[in-house]
Chains A and B, each alone.
Chain A
Amino acid sequence: MNQVIAALRKELLLGWRGRAQAMAVIVFGSTLLLLLSFAVGPNATALRQLSGGFLWVSLLFASTLSLAESFRQEREQRALEGLLLLGAHPAALFYGKALANWLQLFVVGAALVPVMIVLYDPGLSGIGRLLGVLALGTAALSAPGTLHAGLAAQVRAQQVLLPLLLFPLMVPVLIASVRASSLLLLGDPMGQAASWALLLVACNGIFWPLCGLLFGYVIEE
C-alpha cells in the first residue's frame, strides 16, 4: 500500500509539472466536440440526442493523448525500469499510475461537460448524476488504458498502437457510458441508467484487478 501511495504521489507531481499537456488534452477534446457539432449541422434535436455519445467519443480520443503522455517520461530515461530495480512492485506502479490517469481523465471529462452543454444544449437536469457516470466510465477507461499505454510504450509506433489496442476493448465501456449519459441528459422515465451504470461497475470490477495483475508482464523484459 505504501508503494501505491508513493507511486500515486510521483504521478500527481509529474501531472502537476505537465499541466500544460493536460490543458492541451482539454482543448483537443473541446475541438472534437465542436467539429462533431458541425458534422451534425443546425439540427437542435439531433444535437441534443447525440450529446452524450459525442462527449464520450471526444473523451475517448482525448484519453489516448493523456495515457500515452503518462509513459513518455518513464521511457525517456528508463525511469520506470529504475523504480523496478529498487524492488518496487509492478502492481503498485500500475495502481499509482492508473489512479492518477483516472483523476486526470475525470478532470478532462468534467471540463468537457460545460463545452458539451453550450454546443449541444441537452439541459442541466441530470448533470450531477452525469458526473457520477463520468467517474465510473473514466475509471473503466483508465485501468485498461494504463495497461495498454504501458504495452504501446515499448514500441516506436506508440501513438498508432495505443488506439488500435485500446478502442476494441472499450466498446462495452463506451456503450454503457453513452447510454447512461444520454438517459441522464435526455430523461430516464424507465430508470434504465442505473443498469448501465451497474455494467460500468462490473467492467471496473474486472479491469482493475486483471490489469494490475498483467502490468508486470507488460513492463518487465
Chain B
Amino acid sequence: MSENSFAIYARGLSKRYGRSWALAGVDLCVEAGRALVVAGRNGSGKSTLLRLLAGSLRPDQGELRIFGDERRKGRAALVAHAAFLYETLTGLENLQVVARFLHKPSGRADLEPLLDRVGLAKRGDDPVQSYSAGMRKRLSIARALLQDAPIVLLDEPYGQIDPPGFAWIDALIGQLRAQGKTVVLASHQVERLAGLCDRALLLESGRAVWSGSAAELPAAFARLEGQRRERMAG
C-alpha cells in the first residue's frame, strides 16, 4: 500500500517538550476502518501521539499524513484528558457551540438524541461545572460524536467512567467501527482492548518498542514489564 492510502501514516514522528523528547521516531500506519490501541506506562508518549494525530501539536520531526494529506485539523475527533468544555455553559449549550462551528443543526431536538446516547439526557440543561468527572467525559465523547470525523482518537476512554460504564465504552467502540471509522485508543486497559482492536502499539519513553496484533498485546505488555523489573533488579 502507498503512504497516501492509509488513514494515518506517520514516519519518524517526534515531539519535544523543552529538552526532553516526548515522542521519538515513531512509525505508524493505520488502514481506514481499523482500530489501533496505543499502550504504555504513564509518560510513555501516548497522549502526545494522539494530540499530534489530532493536529493539536505540531511534530518537531518526521512526517504525518491523514488520508494522504498533511492537514489534520477537523479530520480527527479527539477525546482527551481536557474535556474542551465551557464550565458555565450547560451540556446542551456546549454541544450547540460545537454544532454551530460545524454548520450542523443546533436545535434542542437535534442534539437531545446525542445527549441521550451518552447517558446525559436528564442533565443536559445543567451547567457543566455541576457535572462529575465521568459526566464530563461522556459529554466530551458526545462532542466528538457530533464532529462525525472519519478518525476518532480516544485518550483513556475508560478514565473517570464508572465500572458499569465500561461496557458502554466497549459498545461505543464497536459502533464506531461498524460505521467505518478509524479508531485510535490510548489506554492502560490492554486486556479489555485486545479483543476490541485490530492492531496495537507499545510505547516506552516516547519510542515504539513493539507493534503487532492487538490480541498479542497483553503478552507483549507483560513481557515488557518483566524486562523492566529485571532491569530494576539488576
Contact = CB atoms under 8 A, between A and B. Distances in A.
B86 A79 contact: yes
Interface stretch (B20-28, B55-63, B191-199, B206-214): B55-63
B56 A13 contact: no
Contacts of A3: 101
Contacts of B55: 84-85
A87 B100 contact: no
Interface string A7-43: 1011001100110000000000000000000000000
B97 A85 contact: no
B143 A87 contact: no
Contact of A86 (B58, B82, B102): B102
Contact of B87 (A10, A77, A83): A77
B100 A84 contact: no
A76 B136 CA distance: 13
Interface string B77-93: 11010111111110001
Interface residues of A, number: 25
Q: How large is the interface on B (under 10, 10 to 19, 20 to 34, 35 or more residues)?
A: 20 to 34
Nearest to B98: A86
B231 interface: no
A13 B103 CA distance: 18
A88 interface: yes
Interface in A34-56: none
Interface in A72-93: 73, 76-79, 81-88
Contacts of B100: 2, 5-6, 9-10
B73 A13 contact: no
Contacts of B86: 10, 14, 73, 77, 79
B64 interface: no
Nearest to B103: A2
A18 B88 contact: yes
Main secondary structure of the interface of B (DSSP, over half): loop
Contact of B74 (A9, A18, A85): A85
B56 A81 contact: yes
B89 A17 contact: yes
Contacts of B143: 82
Interface of A: 2-3, 5-7, 9-10, 13-14, 17-18, 73, 76-79, 81-88, 221
26 contacts: A2-B100, A2-B103, A5-B100, A6-B100, A6-B101, A9-B97, A10-B86, A10-B97, A13-B89, A13-B93, A14-B88, A17-B88, A77-B85, A77-B87, A78-B84, A79-B86, A81-B84, A83-B84, A83-B98, A85-B77, A85-B84, A86-B98, A87-B101, A88-B101, A221-B56, A221-B57
Given A2-B100, A85-B54, 14 more contacts: A2-B103, A9-B97, A10-B86, A14-B89, A76-B87, A79-B86, A81-B82, A82-B84, A82-B143, A84-B56, A85-B56, A85-B78, A86-B101, A221-B58
